[in-house]
A and B are shown apart, each in its own frame.
Chain A
Amino acid sequence: MKVLVAVKRVVDYNVKVRVKGDQSGVDLANVKMAMNPFCEIAVEEAVRLKEKGVAEEIVVVSMGPKAAQEQIRTAMALGADRGILVETDEELESLAVAKLLAKIVEEEQPGLVILGKQAIDSDNNQTGQMLGALTGMPQGTFASEVSMGEGKVEVTREIDGGLQTLSLNLPAIVTTDLRLNEPRYASLPNIMKAKRKPLETKTPADLGVDVAPRLKVLNVAPPAERQAGVMVSSVDELVEKLKNEAKVV
């Protein structure tokens, strides 16, 4: 079985982003970029499926600027076999990414597609589900456990009240939650080897997808600042403040 994994280049999760002075967006100049943490978990799951002999080939795909090659190389250093970059300098919305992915799915015919549950920049949590709608595939979102069966996959999902297990016909889509696995680190020899793995570049036009945005971002503002708090020196003082100042207990 072939597994397709989608990865996104985003701001490193430890960076505290700043809104630009003109409120046109977030300042990404000279900010450290990395693979979206949920995508790392997706790559790891695919590699584990390959190690178990379930997956034969792992194809990793990313949409974005030329620099997104770095994230594809990272995925290849972790164990992906080859990469596809759909190169564009446009800001891609989830719907556009899902449409591009749907075309790649049509070309590659994977048995399983693994994505992260959300990207930590846009916080949309949409792409995997949208790909499901466009391809007609079932989806196992927010997965904390994936177990492959004959023609089916069982996915345990993290839902609000606990856990839910679904059985999906293959081909299917899985989106990863934090607890699916612990991603490994790439070793130096594997990073060197990854440089020689094949990486194909396409454009949205090659795939016949219109990626024009549907939403217009009018403004990006910093969130309302919280008023500076006070430090209390004892539990008594804390109780007094909560009772008489905040009046919340």
Chain B
Amino acid sequence: MSILVIAEHDNSALKGATLNTVTAAAQIGGEIDVLVAGENCGAVAEEAAKIAGVNKVLVADDAAYGHQLAENLGQLVADLAAGYSHVLASATTTGKNFMPRVAALLDVAQISDIVAVESADTFQRPIYAGNAIATVRSGDATKVITVRATAFDAAATEGSASVESLDKVTDAGVSSFVKEELAKSDRPELTAAKVIVSGGRGMGNGENFALLEKLADKLGAAVGASRAAVDAGFVPNDMQVGQTGKIVAPELYIAVGISGAIQHLAGMKDSKYIVAINKDEEAPIFQVADYGLVADLFEAVPELEQKL
């Protein structure tokens, strides 16, 4: 068996989710190659070569791959896939975007967002917003899989794989990049943070999120939000935790003013410890919280920040 892992990166640095995906690949077993497709992405290839357990790093460096357009990247990966039994990418917005194209080009089903590897052809994945876990077996010749990063540990970075350049370029020429607006934050990345402080509709407005930010700074935590807080315009959408936002599993998740709808729980109920602060003692969030505090968040959060 041989496995191709598609690296996730921003052309200058490798994204952490790639390391978790390599761990999933190692659990399947077999030789692991990593593809780095991008523009001026030499530094990323060097980083990828240091991931423990990686055999070889393939680099496709061309303007056509600069923004990981699904049309170009999907075709490149599908062309490479012939030599592999498994193709894996992390279930990030990039992976979710191009991988199904790869699967359809290969005429195979894709297995989305796996949380466990049972064997080389059998995997577990959540369905119905995480309210059921399906175990599925694939009969396809090539297994095309996206991996939920929070379900696997990060691979170590102590290897020394060889780096090989690919020169064939695929440019479908049907789509082009216009612009990007990335949120700037000095705090840890939401999906990789050990501690997350999240706010919901109960925060009342965007300014009040400053309370959570202070608490987050004290804890070295990332700040998240529920859909209600995003829809109300309190915070940008990339902070949304849930079925349709980011899936997180930190050591500690502090939910403040969040009722705990099914769709929100889908994104955080695998956190090790969950703390809920809510003034409604009937809020469903208390059913999953390890520690629940019925209190006014505007009093409890500053007090908590002070006492930590």
**B131, A222: Cβ atoms under 8 Å?**
yes
| Contact (A248, B195) CB under 8 Å given A133-B101, A229-B289 | yes
**A220, B111: Cβ atoms under 8 Å?**
no
**A218, B122: Cβ atoms under 8 Å?**
yes
Residues of A within 8 A of B183 (CB): 161-162
**B180, A246: Cβ atoms under 8 Å?**
no
Cβ-neighbour of B180 out of A163, A213, A223 (below 8 A): A163
| Contact (A239, B97) CB under 8 Å given A124-B110, A166-B69 | no
Residues of B within 8 A of A164 (CB): 67, 177, 179-181
Which of A232, A235, A236: most chain B CB closer than 10 A?
Answer: A235
Cα-based distance from A144 to B177 in the complex (angstroms): 16
Q: Which of A65-73, A93-101, A199-207 contacts B (4 or more CB under 8 A)?
A: A93-101
Question: What 1/0 mask marks residues of chain A from 83 to 127 whose CB sits below 8 Å from any chain B CB?
Answer: 000000000011100100000000000000000011011111111
| Contact (A125, B100) CB under 8 Å given A139-B70, A229-B292 | yes
Residues of B within 8 A of A162 (CB): 180-183, 236, 238
| Contact (A216, B304) CB under 8 Å given A126-B100, A160-B246, A241-B291 | no
Residues of B within 8 A of A179 (CB): 230-231, 237
CB of A168 closer than 8 Å to a CB of B? yes
**B137, A218: Cβ atoms under 8 Å?**
yes
Q: Which of B25-33, B52-60, B267-275 contacts A (4 or more CB under 8 A)?
A: B267-275
**B243, A138: Cβ atoms under 8 Å?**
no
Residues of B within 8 A of A217 (CB): 134-136
**A95, B108: Cβ atoms under 8 Å?**
yes
CB of B234 closer than 8 Å to a CB of A? no
**B300, A235: Cβ atoms under 8 Å?**
yes
CB of A141 closer than 8 Å to a CB of B? yes
On chain B, the number of residues with a Cβ less than 8 Å from chain A's Cβ atoms is 88
Q: Which of A10-18, A42-50, A190-198 contacts B (4 or more CB under 8 A)?
A: A10-18
Cα-based distance from A202 to B307 in the complex (angstroms): 66
CB of A219 closer than 8 Å to a CB of B? yes
Q: Which of B80-88, B168-176, B205-213 contacts A (4 or more CB under 8 A)?
A: B168-176
Residues of A within 8 A of B274 (CB): 226, 229
**B174, A169: Cβ atoms under 8 Å?**
yes
Residues of B within 8 A of A231 (CB): 286, 291-294
| Contact (A222, B133) CB under 8 Å given A229-B286, A249-B308 | yes
Residues of B within 8 A of A120 (CB): 128-129, 243
**A218, B135: Cβ atoms under 8 Å?**
yes
CB of A214 closer than 8 Å to a CB of B? yes
CB of A64 closer than 8 Å to a CB of B? no
Cα-based distance from A117 to B122 in the complex (angstroms): 25
**A133, B97: Cβ atoms under 8 Å?**
no
Q: Which residues 153-174 in B have Cβ within 8 Å of A in the complex?
A: 172, 174
Q: Which residues 123-165 in A have Cβ within 8 Å of B in the complex?
A: 123-134, 136-139, 141-142, 144, 154, 157-165
Residues of B within 8 A of A157 (CB): 93
CB of A178 closer than 8 Å to a CB of B? yes
| Contact (A95, B238) CB under 8 Å given A125-B96, A165-B179, A231-B292 | no
| Contact (A142, B93) CB under 8 Å given A11-B128, A220-B132 | yes
Residues of B within 8 A of A209 (CB): none
Cα-based distance from A154 to B178 in the complex (angstroms): 8
Cβ-neighbour of B128 out of A17, A165, A226 (below 8 A): A17
Cα-based distance from A63 to B304 in the complex (angstroms): 52
CB of A26 closer than 8 Å to a CB of B? yes
Cβ-neighbour of A242 out of B104, B107, B291, B295 (below 8 A): B291
Cα-based distance from A155 to B247 in the complex (angstroms): 24
Cβ-neighbour of A17 out of B105, B132, B172 (below 8 A): B132
Cα-based distance from A231 to B134 in the complex (angstroms): 32
Residues of A within 8 A of B140 (CB): 214
CB of A167 closer than 8 Å to a CB of B? yes
**B291, A130: Cβ atoms under 8 Å?**
no
CB of B103 closer than 8 Å to a CB of A? yes
**A239, B294: Cβ atoms under 8 Å?**
no
Cα-based distance from A239 to B218 in the complex (angstroms): 13
CB of A29 closer than 8 Å to a CB of B? no
Residues of B within 8 A of A129 (CB): 70, 74, 96-101, 104
16 pairs of residues in contact across A and B, judged by CB atoms under 8 Å: A130-B103, A136-B172, A138-B70, A141-B70, A142-B93, A166-B69, A169-B174, A219-B134, A220-B127, A220-B132, A223-B126, A226-B274, A231-B292, A235-B295, A246-B252, A246-B291
List 10 additional A-B contacts (Cβ < 8 Å) besides A133-B102, A168-B174.
Answer: A127-B100, A132-B101, A134-B104, A139-B97, A157-B93, A159-B238, A162-B181, A178-B231, A215-B137, A242-B252
8 smallest CB-CB distances across A and B, nearest first, come from: A129-B100, A133-B104, A130-B104, A214-B109, A126-B100, A138-B175, A162-B182, A165-B178
Residues of B in contact with A (beta carbons under 8 Å apart): 67, 69-71, 74, 78, 92-94, 96-105, 107-113, 122, 126-140, 172, 174-183, 191, 195, 219, 227, 230-231, 236-238, 243-244, 246, 251-252, 262-263, 269, 272-275, 286, 288-295, 300, 303-304, 307-308
